Amino acid sequence: MIKDDIIVLPHIHLRERSKKVGIISKEIKQLVADMQAATLDWEDSRKHEVGVALAAIQVDKPLRIVVIRNNFDNKNDRDFKVFINPEITKYEGVVEEDYEGCLSVKNVYGKVPRNTKVRVKALDIDGKEIRLTAEGFLARVFQHEIDHTNGAVFVDHIKDNPEAFFVLDEEGRLIKLDYENDVRNNPILW
């Protein structure tokens, strides 16, 4: 898969709940490899961004599969961890706003409130149960990606906040969008 296989709003499938994976077949393993390839291809086309994670629904496969980059700060580390049927079992910490982007929301970024700590359970690529506590940016990533498996996109959390929408300029800086003209009535976002 390539970046062009990633679906973007207003594609209706991004609003659908994904199904649990029953058996981790060779087709599921191939889908995981394709998701990683599409994420890296997207990243390679972007000067100031890192392809952090992807949910299967973002490549139009309604399955509860998420891939998350091992190292968000090193673009040379192109490895991912796989989470099948991920779910947040507990929200902890405090709720903080921070910037998020999405491979399925073209050129719009948002300041989204998320918990600073979550507990997650999932299966790995071999079907072995994983339980972990994620904090900081990783907690944000899990919440963002698990939202995708539930048919939600980050803009849903900020749709009524005129101060929360941004665009990235050519220098990689976030610039606030005009809510009335660029956001509220934009059919691409909703």
- 4: tokens are 């062009």
144 neighbors 53 (Cβ within 8 angstroms): yes
Rounded Cα distance, 84 and 76, in Å = 25
pLDDT at position 189 is 84
Is a pLDDT exceeding 90 seen at residue 16? yes
Supply the pTM of this predicted model.
0.95
Q: What is the pLDDT of residues 34-76, one digit of tens each?
A: 999 999 999 999 888 899 999 999 999 999 999 999 998 888 9
Compute the average pLDDT of residues 154-169.
Answer: 94
Local structure of 38: helix, strand or coil: helix
Rounded Cα distance, 188 and 165, in Å = 14
Nearest CA to 89 among 116, 119, 114?
119
Q: Determine if the peptide bond prior to 86 is cis (ω within 30°).
A: no
Is a pLDDT exceeding 90 seen at residue 172? no
pLDDT at position 14 is 98
170 is catalytic: no
Q: How confident is the model at residue 184 (pLDDT cuts 50, 70, 90)?
A: confident
CATH label, 3-183, candidates 3.90.45.10, 3.40.50.300, 3.30.200.20, 1.20.1250.20: 3.90.45.10
Mean pLDDT of the chain: 95
- 34: tokens are 């394709």
Active-site residue among 145, 163, 170, 171? Answer: 145
Q: What is the pLDDT of residues 80-123, one digit of tens each?
A: 999 999 999 999 999 999 999 999 999 899 999 999 999 999 99
